[in-house]
Amino acid sequence: MSTLKPMLLGNLKRALLGLGVRKLPLIAGHKLLYTCNLRCRMCPFWRRKDEKLLSLEEEILMLKSLERAGVLFMGFEGGEPLLRKDLEQILEESYKRFYTSLVTNGWLLKDRVKRISEYLDYLFVSIDGIGEVHDKIRGISGSFEKAIEGIKEAKKYLPVSISFTITRENMDQVKDVIELSKKLDVKISIQVEYDYTTAEKLSPDKKRLYQVLKLIIELKKRGYPIIESVDYFEAIINSWYNNIPWKCKPWLTINVDPQGKIVLPCYVLNEYSGNYKVWEVDIVKLWNSYPWSEYESCNKCALACYLEPSLFKWSNSEMVKEKIIENIGNYIYNAMPIKFLLGGK
């Protein structure tokens, strides 16, 4: 369930902290672990042998450092975050400070969602196709059914979105998965697969992807519950097909690996290899001395956590309406006791 407190206080602190400096991270992503109970073919993380986890005390140190650096949104991921036994305690500490979300493959969700939802504002469940297509990508049969069961249960407690990654294996099912989100009455976040060097290459064929991106834009305009903006999909088309790059601002997102190290300049370029322990550096100083301009025209990936915030402009009224006004409306609605009177979830 949402609370207004962290965002209001956080915004105020961020505004004060931002006086006199140019760059502050806004969104934080943290891989709690690399271990996973599934075996996705395109995923480099479950294959890693260098996992060394933070203790609960260190997780709290990390959260406090991110709060001091002006972060407002905290997203937990993995590996599979639900494999951490102390997940509730970590989320509770995050929830006091940030708008908190988590992404899960859904396998363990049904039995645990009630407890974790106490400390979450938003939940993403990965679905990469319908039925066997999803299971084939995940490498474990039955994972589609488990994820759907988890989504149905989670919807009772908090806002939920499908997280969908377009690969060459599921390109023909993009419309079906978007329809599924509508049928389940949840939103859908859509990204394009990026090929990591240490996993199977499943990124979609660029020629066919063009038509798929056009279809997504059309469905979005027709009111399907797609989270990313039309600008997001148009930016990918412009960059990858028309040679008109977007300006990437990786500094808006700070990613932290399972050891508590900041991944610079972004999640993708160094394949999740951390540089500095979050609580051992002055993040604001680092953020304002790092050579970010070298990465402005990179355009290599289209990960929503980097591209979508990079595109945000106060002068774009549609984006302001969709990303700020409607979200604040939903946020207040979710935080108010009145939602129960009105029958909201």
Residues in contact with ligand SF4 by the rule CB under 6 A = 36, 38-40, 43, 45-46, 78-80, 105, 126, 248, 250, 265-266, 268-269, 295, 298-301, 303, 306
Neighbours of 27 (CB within 10 A): 20
The residue (of 258 and 260) whose beta carbon lies closer to ligand SF4 is 258
The residue (of 34 and 95) whose beta carbon lies closer to ligand SF4 is 34
Report, in Å, the least distance between residue 212 CB and ligand SF4.
20
Report, in Å, the least distance between residue 266 CB and ligand SF4.
3
CA distance readout (Å), 182 to 187, 254, 268: 7, 31, 31
Give the DSSP letter string of 203-243: PPPHHHHHHHHHHHHHHHHTT--B-S-HHHHHHHHHHHHH-
> Which conformational region is residue 87 in: left (phi greater than 0), alpha (psi within -120 to 50 degrees), or beta?
alpha
Report, in Å, the least distance between residue 134 CB and ligand SF4.
11
Report, in Å, the least distance between residue 343 CB and ligand SF4.
33
Separation of alpha carbons 70 and 51, rounded Å: 28
Report, in Å, the least distance between residue 208 CB and ligand SF4.
22
Report, in Å, the least distance between residue 214 CB and ligand SF4.
21
The residue (of 7 and 286) whose beta carbon lies closer to ligand SF4 is 286
Separation of alpha carbons 81 and 85, rounded Å: 9
Report, in Å, the least distance between residue 281 CB and ligand SF4.
20
Report, in Å, the least distance between residue 38 CB and ligand SF4.
4
Which residue in 203, 169, 194 sits closest to 305, CA to CA?
Answer: 194
The residue (of 48 and 97) whose beta carbon lies closer to ligand SF4 is 48
The residue (of 77 and 93) whose beta carbon lies closer to ligand SF4 is 77
The residue (of 103 and 180) whose beta carbon lies closer to ligand SF4 is 103
Neighbours of 240 (CB within 10 A): 17
CA distance readout (Å), 168 to 75, 171, 174, 208: 27, 6, 11, 9
Planar angle of CA 189, 116, 42, nearest 5 degrees:
40
**What SS3 class is residue 85?**
coil
The residue (of 59 and 128) whose beta carbon lies closer to ligand SF4 is 128
Separation of alpha carbons 35 and 49, rounded Å: 9
Return the HEC string of 65-78. Answer: HHHHCCCCEEEEEC
The residue (of 43 and 54) whose beta carbon lies closer to ligand SF4 is 43
> Which conformational region is residue 185 in: left (phi greater than 0), alpha (psi within -120 to 50 degrees), or beta?
left
